[in-house]
Amino acid sequence: MQLAMSLNSFHQITEKQFIHSNLDVIKIKKNTVLFSENNKLDYIFFLSNGELIIKINKHKLWRVNDKEFIGITSYFTDETSYTYTVEASKNSTIVKIEVDDFKEAINNSIELSNFIMDSLCKRIKLTLQD
Amino acid sequence: MTKIPACSECNIEDSIFCTLTPEQTEFISENKGSNFYKKGQAVFYEGNQSHGLFCIFKGKVKLSKLGENGKEQVIRFAKTGNILGYRSLFSNEPYQATATVLEDSYICHLSKEKYTSLMRDNPKLSWKTMQLLAKDLKSAEQHLINIAQKTVKERIAEALLLLQSTFGYTEDGESLSVTLTRSEIADIAGTTTETTIRTLAILGKENAIKLEGKRIIIPDLEALIKIAGLYD
C-alpha cells in the first residue's frame, strides 16, 4: 500500500526524488537490454531519465525519451510475457514495479489511470502517424 | 424503426459497461442520447472537437483517417456493443479519425463529464478503458510492422481475417457478414485498389477465398491464416 501511495503522484517526481524514494530504481547503461520479447511479464517499468528503444522482431517501433511506463501494452492485453524488446539507447534511470503493486496503485489512483490513458492515447497517435 | 432500450435491457456481452452496478447503468440510461445513422453517414469527423463517447447499440462502423497523400487509412472496425471516440476523450484532442457507418446503425452517446464521473466511481471501468487503449495500440503497432515486413498478399489475407474476426460470418457460416468495396479493403491493407483486385483473384485461384460479386467467402480459414503468416 505504501508503494501504491508513493506511485500515486510519481509521474511528477524528479529523478533525484526517485533515487531517494522507497521505489526500486535501477540504472542501465546504453545498449543494455531491459527485457526481451517473450520474457515473463513480472514487472512494469517507468522511464525516469534517459532513452529507450522498443523493438518487435528487430523492427524499431518507438523511441521513448520522456516519463513513460514500459510494458503496459502487454500487461493490459493480458499477456503473460512481454510482446516486445526494450533496449537503452542512452544511459537510463528506470523505476521497476511489480505487477501486483502496479495494479494496486491504479485501483487506488484515478490520477495515475488518467496519466496512463493519456500516455496510451499519445502513443497510438504517434504510431498511426508513422 | 428499432426502439433503443434502457441500458439495463441491453444484453450485449463483453461490453465495457458490463462492470457497472445497476445504479450506474441506470445513470447512463438517464443521461445518454441515441441516434439512428443511415449507411454511409458519419458519426464524427477527424479534426472535430470531442464531446463524448459513442456506444453502438446495433450496427457496424469503420474508423479511418486521411494519410498525407490524401489516401484513406482504415484504423479499425467497430460492431454492436463496441465504443467509439474514447481516445480523443482522454487525450483532450480533436477526433483523430472519422467514424462512418457501414450499415444502418443505432448509436448511443454519453458526454465526457458523465463518463469520467463513472470512471471515478468504478475503477473496473477505468481498467477496461485502459485495456481498450492498449489493444488499439497493439493493433496500430502490428499494422506498422505489417506494412514494413509483410507482402501485399499477406496483408490482404490479414485484412480479410480482421473482417472475419470482427464481424463474423453470415448464416451460411462461410461468407463475411460485412460487405466492403475493393477500395476499402485496399485501405485496410495499405495498398492500391488495383493491387487488391489482383491479389483477391490470386487468393481465389488458391482456393483460400471465393468471390461472388462484393461478397467474400472464406471456405478454408486455416489456409488464409497460413497465407497471412499467422500461426496462432
Report the distance separating Cα B92 and Cα B104, nearest Å.
29
- pLDDT value at position A7? 53
CA angle B224, B229, B231 (to 5 degrees): 90
User: What residues contact residue B137 under an 8 Å CB cut-off, 6+ apart?
Assistant: A73, A120, A123, A124, A127
Nearest chain A residue to B145, by CA: A59
Q: How far apart are CA B147 and CA B191, in angstroms?
A: 9
* Number of C-beta neighbours around residue B121 at 10 A: 14
Q: Return the pLDDT at A33.
A: 96
Q: Report how far residue B132's alpha carbon sits from residue A72's, in angstroms, rounded to the nearest whole number.
A: 12
pLDDT of A19 strictly over 90? no
> For A79-99, what is each residue's pLDDT tens digit?
999 999 999 999 999 999 999
**Which among B65, B91, B123 is the nearest to A122, CB-wise?**
B91
Which residues of A lie inside 8 Å of B (Cβ-Cβ)?
56-57, 59, 61, 72-73, 75-78, 83-84, 106-107, 110, 113-114, 116-118, 120-125, 127-128, 130
Cβ contacts of B83 on chain A, cutoff 8 Å: none
**CA of B213 vs chain A CAs: smallest distance (Å):** 32
CB contacts < 8 Å between A and B, how many? 86
Contact A117 B135 (CB under 8 A): no
- Which residues of B are less than 8 Å from A57 in CB distance? 145, 149
Q: Which residue has the higher pLDDT, B59 or A9?
A: B59
Residue A71: is its pLDDT beyond 60? yes
Instruction: Label residue A127 by pLDDT band (50, 70, 90).
Output: confident
Residue A73: all three cell numbers together: 501494452
So what's the pLDDT on residue B72?
Answer: 84
What is the least distance, in Å, from the CA of B125 to any CA of chain A? 11
Shortest Cα distance from B74 to chain A (angstroms)? 10
Rounded Cα–Cα distance for residues B29 and B116 (Å)? 16
**Rounded CA separation A32/A91 (Å):** 9
pLDDT tens digits for A49-62? 899 999 988 788 88
Predicted confidence at residue A4, as pLDDT, reads 47
Amino acid at B67: G
Which residues of chain B have a CB within 8 Å of the CB of A125?
A: 87, 91, 93, 96
> Could you tell me where the DSSP H helices lie in chain A?
2-7, 15-19, 72-76, 99-107, 110-129
Q: Taking 90 as the threshold, does the pLDDT of residue A44 lie above it? A: yes
Q: Grid coordinates standing for B47?
A: 479534426
